[in-house]
Every structure is written in structure tokens, then in C-alpha cells.
Chain A
Amino acid sequence: MRNLYLPHLTTIKTAVQETFDTWTFELEFQDPALRESFVFQPGQFGLLSAFGAGESTLTLASGSLRRGSVDVTFRKIGRVTGALASLNTGDTIGFRGPYGNRFPMELFKGKNLLFIAGGIGLPAVTSVLYDALAARGEYGTITVLYGARSSRDLVYQRQIAEWERRPDVNMVKTVDPWGVTEGWDGMVGLIPVVLEKINPSPENAVAIMCGPPIMIKFTLQALEKLGFSPEQVYLTLENKMKCGLGKCGRCNVGDLYICKEGPVYTAAQTRRMYPDF
């Protein structure tokens, strides 16, 4: 019987420091067979091991069509992410996964996609974005609303610049009113405020969202005001995880184990959840 807790080994192919406390690693499986065969669905996550420190849950941030390597982006905030942050290209990280449910891409086909992300929440939804961009004709308009405390806290700045240049993507970046720095050329304001300004139509649209709880709370209200129904809004939740397999009993929100029965939910589903967060 396969040991579920035994991680696969990956090598850090490239390491990019996004901000003062976030990094993106491109990971390549050391087992050549796995390099070829590994697939995941957008929205799934992995448990990354910094050996000696432990494991951390990170969403797979690259597109699901890429073969040979996956990207993860993380913020250095605790023991494991701190250890990960000290690693470099060529170092080994353990990987268990892919775990979790997925964004239902088939339901998004033909619709207008509205991505809303705050801070470190952007990597949690980029897998959907990359998949959509790879099959651009199959989707309607694509709007990406992304904000952070200041321009120094924005991740994926290179990609944001690319998306800004694309005529088929409406890239809206914003910083908090107190985070404006010299030379900032994007919008200014908290995400719910900016959302109302850009006034997206709920007609044939889905919203895909991830960010800090406070942003989610007010953005959901703003979306409701704009006419989005809770079934049109998709969230990816997070909770402390250890096993990722629905066994250790830690990540539940009421009766839902986020690792197995999540982390992707519609806002309608989250409204029905037990208030256990």
C-alpha cells in the first residue's frame, strides 16, 4: 500500500522573489516519469515540504496545461514558509498532491470571467486565468482586478505588465489609498470600491475570488450590489491543514473538510456553511 504521507521530490528550477516576503518557485519533479505524467486541475493545491521544518499548503499557481513543472507562490509567515524562503535554485522540496476539488472550468466556458484578488490571493486563482488565456476564444471578456496594500506588495508584477499589454484582458491594478508610491500608474482604492467603479456586468459572468477575509466580506457585498448572484461567485478558502487527505480532522469548517470537499466553493455554498471560521 502506498504511503500517502511520503512526498515526491521536486527540484527548484527557478526561484523569483516577488516582494520582500513572497517568493515564486518553479518546481520540477525529480522522477522523470512523474514529470511527464503529473496533472492537476485548476484550484488544486499541494503540500510542500521544507524537510526539517514541515509541510505547508500552497495552491498550484501555474496553468494546468503546462507539463514538466508547476509554480507555487508563497508568503513567508511561519516556520515552514520561512524555511522555504531560505531555499534556492537546485534545492529539493517535497511535494504531496494534487489535493482538493477544482474550479469547474466547464461551467466557465463562454462566460465573462472576472478575477478579483488581494495580496497573496492572486496565485490562488491564476491557474484558472492561465488556462483561460490558453484557450482564449472559449471565454468571454476577461477582467483581472488585483490589489495590494502598496505597489511593493503586488505579486506577479511582470505578468501584470503582460496582461496590461494584452488587448483581450482588462487588467485593473490598485493599491490601498495609503499605499500609493511615486510613479504608481494604476488605480487607487480598496478592492470593493474599485470594483464598483469598474462596474462589471453580472450578465453571463462568473467572479473568481481570493484574498484576505476582510476583503472577501466587503467584496461579496459589492458584488451583490452589482447584481451578481451568490451562485456566480467562486471562492477558494483556506484553513490550517496537515494531512490534506481528510484524516487529521483539522481543516474543517463545520462539517466540510476543506482539503477534500474544497477549497473551491461558490459564495452560495459558503453562506450555507457553519460559521466555523
Chain B
Amino acid sequence: MTRLTRNNLDRWVEALLAERIRVVGPVMQAGQPVYAPISRPSALDFSSVIPRNSIKDFLFPQTETVMLYTIRKTGVEVTDAKPAGGEFPDTVILGARPCDAAGMTSLRAVFTWQGEEDPLFLERLARTTVVTLACVRGDACCFCTSVGLAPDAPAGSDLLLRETVDGNFSVEAVTDKGTHLLARWAQYFEEGAETLRPVIPPPVIERSNVEKMLGWLSDPANYSHEVWSEHAAQCLGCGACTYVCPTCHCFDLTDEGTAYQGDRRKNWDACQFDHFAAHASGHNPRALQSQRWRNRFMCKFHFYPTKFSAAGCVGCGRCIRVCYVGLDIAEMMEKVSACADRQVPDA
């Protein structure tokens, strides 16, 4: 088995940084675990269950320029926007959680759907290597095991690290990119047998069943079920759940600038916001918060699997943690599964 000692990990990180590779990993900021770029290996802190933000921030940033325009008397010039320096930074995300890595697979499915390839996401992804650190435990909000994932699921990872009882890591190459990374930095990795730390996977949510839910959600007749308005009355449409979710991808394209020049921006947006889908005529197809909340749930557990053949929810539980009014998507999964059960005709 290939292994990486903690010491070698620190030295490897130093070597990566010396090559001007951006290294992103879990750090503590203001007492909270977040993924952030680091400038030295001692900043890395793998002790938290899960950082507060998702790694999508580094592949699909909050706000970015998609093009620049200049309006002259002779006409308009548009230029492709490239980051300063010309290319997206080479990045190693070190210590991503499996749910986050799986989320990137889902985002890739969206950003390549029907042959339309979004270069802003894909070029960043091409230059990013995801080194996942498998979990040994979850907390009360984790539910990856209820959506077909696991504390050591390899989806979306290039390398998968697992913690060993002596404070080091076992290393598994999942993709070719991972194999190349191992080969390039071979001096930090070694062979050796190790005992892995025992893993306590999060309990599966009782009474929730993703397949059953998909069946129920696929019936347009259930779209008007009262479970939606019952559950969503608390929602204030703040969008926090959207912003922390690894698979949420909604965005806005907007021009900013003067009459002579400016840029077109791609900014995070949320289907939870009031006027997300509102027409210029004033008509708003999802005018009620419960309709918007329903759209979020449907997107995660119906649209994503049926349209993009990917997981819409990876069970990271961030939305449960940040929700200001205590809405709980796992609770909704139970409720919808119960609705699905009630609708199954007796055998």
C-alpha cells in the first residue's frame, strides 16, 4: 500500500508551493474550519468533520468576468476574459471531503450537459487535482450514506487519502491525474503496510429512500402536494443553503460598466431568491417561497439524477448547518419518502 507520512505531507506541500502551485486545504479561520489557499503547511488542519464552505468556490467562483467589452465609435470590441497572468492557477486541493469531491462530479455533469462545455469551470478543473481525505466520522448533520455515498467514496477524487492509526495516510490513486501526481512527487510517497483508523459512517436516515422519492417526484401530480407549503413556510429565501452547497450551480450573467466599457459577470445566484425567475413583464412563475423551496428539492433529487445523471445531493449537511430557521433537507427526505409510501398501492 502506498502511504504518506504526515511529515512528508508537509514537505510535499512546501514543494508544491515552491513550484507556485496553489494549495487549498482545510484551515481554521476565526475558529471555523474553511477551505482556503494556504501559504505554509502548518496552516492545514484536518481535525474538523467538514469545512464550512465547499470546494466549489475554487472551481466556480462567486463572481468572475466572462468577457470584456469596449464600445468605440468604430464599433464594439469583445475580449475573452482571462485571469491576470493568462491562465487559471494550477491547484491542488488537499484534504477535500468525499462529499465535496463527489459534488464536483455533479457540477462537471452540468457544465458539460448536452455538449455545451463551460470553459471557465472545465479549464479550472483541468488544472486542479483533488486529493480527498476520507472521513472517519460524521456529525449530526452528515448523511452521505443516505444518498449513495460513503465516508471514503472515491467519486470526483484524483487521489484518495485515508487516515491511519499512527497519524499518517494511506494513498490510493483513483484517476490517471492522480497517478501522474504520485509519479511526479514520488519522493514523498513510500510503500508500507498500515492499519487504517476505524470509520464510523453516518447513520442512514430512517424512512428515507432516494429511489422512492425519485418515483414520487417524477409524477407531476405530486407537484401540488401540501407537503411543500407545510414544510417551507419558515424559509426566508436567504440563499445560504445554495451558496454552501457543493452541487448548486445557478448563476446570473450581468453587464457592469459604463457606456464605453465594462465586463460581463457570471455571479452566483440562487433559485431561492424572490425574483430569480421573474420575467420582465412582471410575471413570476415561482412567486411563493414554498414554490422556490420545492424547486430546490426537486432539482437535487429529481432534475439532477434524471437530466444530468449525477447526484444532486451529496449528503454533506451544510444546508442544515447554516439554515437560519432550522429547515432540514433530511427531514424533507423523510417526509417525501413517507408520501411516496402512502401512495404505493397495497400489494
A54 in the interface, Cβ–Cβ < 8 Å?
yes
Closest to A94 in B: B78
A165 within 8 A of B: no
A78 at the interface (CB under 8 A from B): yes
User: Is A4 located at the chain interface by the 8 A CB criterion?
Assistant: yes
- Tell me the nearest residue of chain A to B79, going by C-beta: A6
Instruction: Please report the C-alpha to C-alpha distance between residue A92 and residue B76 in the assembled complex, in whole angstroms.
Output: 6
CA distance A276 to B286 in the complex (A): 7
Taking a contact as CB atoms under 8 Å apart, the answer to whether B278 and A272 are in contact is no
Distance in angstroms between the alpha carbons of A9 and B307 in the assembled complex: 32
With both chains docked as a complex, state the minimum distance between the C-beta of B86 and any C-beta of chain A, in angstroms: 14
Q: A247-B111, A260-B113, A276-B295 are in contact. Are A6 and B255 (CB under 8 A)?
A: no
**In whole angstroms, how far apart are the Cα atoms of A253 and B295 in the complex?**
10
- Contact A6–B69 (Cβ < 8 Å): no
Number of interface residues of B (CB under 8 A): 54
B251 touches A248 (CB 8 A): yes
- Counting chain A CB atoms within 10 Å of each CB, the highest count among B75, B255, B278, B299 belongs to B255
Q: State whether the Cβ of A255 lies closer than 8 Å to any Cβ in chain B.
A: yes
Q: Is A166 an interface residue (CB 8 A)?
A: no
- Bound-state CA distance A213–B286 (Å) is 16
- Tell me which of B17-25, B258-266, B334-342 binds A: B258-266
A140 to chain B: which residues have CB within 8 Å?
A: none
How far apart are A248's CB and chain B's nearest CB, in angstroms? 5
Q: Which residue of B lies closest to A47 (CB)?
A: B253
- Is residue B223 contacting chain A, with contact meaning CB distance below 8 A? yes
Complex partner residue of A248 from B253, B283, B286, CB under 8 angstroms: B253
Chain B contacts for A3, CB-based, 8 A = 66-67, 80, 119-120
User: Which candidate, B143-151, B158-166, B269-277, is the interface stretch facing chain A?
Assistant: B269-277
* B116–A9 CB distance below 8 A: no
Task: Indicate whether B343 reaches chain A with its CB closer than 8 angstroms.
Answer: no
- A239 CB within 8 Å of chain B: yes
Give B236 Cβ to nearest chain A Cβ, in Å: 20
Report yes or no: A52 in contact with B71, Cβ–Cβ below 8 A.
Answer: yes
Contact with A along B263-297 (1 / 0, CB 8 A): 01010010100001111110101100001000100
Instruction: Count contacts on A: residues with CB < 8 A to the other chain.
Output: 47
* B257 contacts A by Cβ under 8 Å: yes
Residues of chain B within 8 A of A49, CB atoms compared: 255, 264
Query: With an 8 A cutoff between CB atoms, is B224 at the interface?
Result: yes
Residues of B close to A195: CB separation below 8 A: none
Is the Cβ of A247 less than 8 Å from the Cβ of B116? yes
Q: Cβ of A5 and Cβ of B67 under 8 Å apart?
A: yes
A52 with B69: CB separation less than 8 A: yes
Task: Indicate if the CB atoms of A9 and B75 lie closer than 8 Å.
Answer: yes
List residues of chain A with CB within 8 A of the CB of B307: 255, 257
Are the C-beta atoms of A1 and B285 separated by less than 8 Å? no
Closest to B286 in A: A276
Instruction: Assess whether A51 is in contact with B71, with CB atoms less than 8 Å apart.
Output: yes
Which A residues touch B71, using CB under 8 A?
51-52, 92
CB atoms of A51 and B69 under 8 A apart: yes
With both chains docked as a complex, state the minimum distance between the C-beta of B147 and any C-beta of chain A, in angstroms: 19
Residues of B within 8 A of A30 (CB): 75
* Distance in angstroms between the alpha carbons of A172 and B303 in the assembled complex: 42
A249 engages B78 (CB within 8 Å): no
Bound complex: CA A51 to CA B298 (Å): 35
A214 CA to B257 CA in the complex, in Å?
38
Q: Which residues of A contact B220 (CB under 8 A)?
A: 254, 272-275
Interface status of A151 (Cβ within 8 A of chain B): no
B49 partner residues in chain A, CB cutoff 8 A: none
Cβ contacts under 8 Å, A276 to chain B = 223, 285-286, 291, 295
Q: A3-B67, A276-B285 are in contact. Are A254 and B116 (CB under 8 A)?
A: no
**Nearest chain B residue, comparing its CB with the CB of A1:** B119
A52: chain B residues at CB < 8 Å are 69, 71, 255, 257-259, 262
In the assembled complex, B57 has its CB within 8 A of some CB on chain A: no
Q: Is B232 an interface residue (CB 8 A)?
A: no
| A240 adjacent to chain B (CB < 8 Å) | yes
Report the minimal beta-carbon distance from A23 to chain B, rounded to whole angstroms.
Answer: 15
- B-side contacts of A277, CB under 8 Å: 285
For this complex, 13 residue pairs linking A to B, each with C-beta atoms less than 8 Å apart, are A4-B118, A4-B119, A5-B253, A9-B78, A54-B253, A240-B279, A242-B252, A243-B251, A246-B116, A249-B249, A255-B298, A273-B220, A276-B285
Residues in A lying within 8 Å of B, measured CB to CB:
1-7, 9, 11, 30, 49, 51-55, 77-79, 81, 92, 94, 213, 238-240, 242-243, 245-255, 257, 260, 272-277
- Extra inter-chain contacts (8) besides given A252-B295, A255-B302, CB under 8 Å: A1-B119, A6-B66, A79-B280, A246-B110, A249-B249, A250-B277, A272-B220, A275-B224
Give B residues with C-beta under 8 Å from A.
Answer: 66-67, 69, 71, 75-76, 78, 80, 110-111, 113-114, 116-120, 122-123, 220, 223-224, 249-255, 257-259, 262, 264, 266, 269, 271, 276-281, 283, 285-286, 291, 295, 298-299, 302-303, 306-307
**Among all A-B residue pairs, the 9 with the closest Cβ atoms:** A78-B280, A249-B250, A1-B119, A92-B76, A5-B66, A245-B116, A277-B285, A51-B69, A274-B220
